[in-house]
Amino acid sequence: MWLLYTILTILLLPAAIVIALHMSRIRFARSIVAKTEPAQSCPEGYRNTIVVAGDSTAFGVGALPAESTAGRLAAAFPHARLVNVAKSGNRIGHVVEQLDKVDCPSVDLILIQAVANDVLEFRSVKKVEADLRAAIARARKLSRNIVLMPGHDFSVAPFFLRPISILIERHAIKVLAMVRRVVAEEGIMFVDLFRDPATEPFVKEPKLYYCPDFLHPSGQGYAIWFTILTAQIPLRQFLAPNGSD
């Protein structure tokens, strides 16, 4: 019997270590989430309205408010009101209820940063697609200009140990293929942050581009995302100081 217990201990110990390490990392990540303040702005006499919805990356976890994507949008368009309704831990399906909280009938631009949690929770591609289409439909009731920027390949984050990261990557590829198809069918703007790991700055310099939890971007990491966003989407076309939706 003791031999059986010894064998079971040897077999289960690696799994127990992995679980313990991830639980510790999750607790640390949650402490960073708890300290995060989302970027918001409401300048006097504002002429445009931007809504940011989605998950922790939309909320700005890992960076100072001004260094997040939302904060950089507010700085780039000081004449615009920026409303951040994102919530850490939310999936793409939660975007519908987030947008229900917006207090105006129409806005000039909606930026949705979500889908990462759907991937990390290994939700079925079919369910994620249904939620994505529902989020797009709700966003269309508020604006003609909708941008989806789901985030990069989180499987490369040092937060995840190798066996888990492989599973995440496989599922992420399936979800991404669906997202690319849906945005093409729906005709909304899409910012694809997936990169070959060999050229991904987050992989080359993780201490620079990730915050201390090694899961969420740092201020420098969000700067990379914002650069890609502004390079791919003609934001000034939708947010001209004298324009409105």
- Other Cβ atoms closer than 10 A to 171: 20
Predicted pLDDT at 37: 79
| Contact in structure between 98 and 58 (CB atoms under 8 Å) | no
| Distance of alpha carbon 31 from alpha carbon 184, whole angstroms | 38
Sheet containing strand 80-84, strands side by side: 80-84, 48-54, 109-113, 146-148, 189-190
96's CB contacts (< 8 A; 6+ apart) are 134, 135, 138
Predicted pLDDT at 4: 31
Tens of pLDDT along the chain (245 residues) come to: 333 333 334 433 444 444 544 555 566 566 665 566 788 999 998 999 999 999 999 999 989 999 999 999 999 999 999 999 999 999 999 999 999 999 999 999 999 999 999 999 999 999 999 999 999 999 999 999 999 999 888 889 888 877 788 999 999 999 999 999 999 999 999 999 998 888 999 999 999 999 888 889 999 999 999 999 999 999 999 997 764 44
Q: Partners of 210 in the beta sheet?
A: 217
| Distance of alpha carbon 235 from alpha carbon 119, whole angstroms | 28
Residue 220, SS3?
helix
Residue 6's identity, in one-letter code, is: T
| Contact in structure between 215 and 29 (CB atoms under 8 Å) | yes
Cα–Cα nearest to 138, from 110, 118, 119, 116: 110
Nearest 5°: CA angle at 226, between 115 and 174? Answer: 25
What is the residue extent of each domain of the chain?
2-238
Cα–Cα nearest to 133, from 85, 179, 86, 81: 179
Q: Could you tell me the two tokens for 75?
A: 């700085």
Instruction: Classify domain 2-238 by CATH architecture.
Output: 3-Layer(aba) Sandwich (3.40)
Cα–Cα nearest to 206, from 158, 160, 155, 161: 158
| Distance of alpha carbon 184 from alpha carbon 225, whole angstroms | 21
Predicted pLDDT at 97: 97
Q: Could you tell me the two tokens for 160?
A: 């995840």
Name the pairing type of β-strands 80-84 and 48-54: parallel
CA dihedral 97, 100, 106, 108 (to 10 degrees): -40
Predicted pLDDT at 207: 95
Cα–Cα nearest to 53, from 75, 28, 86: 86
| Distance of alpha carbon 226 from alpha carbon 68, whole angstroms | 9
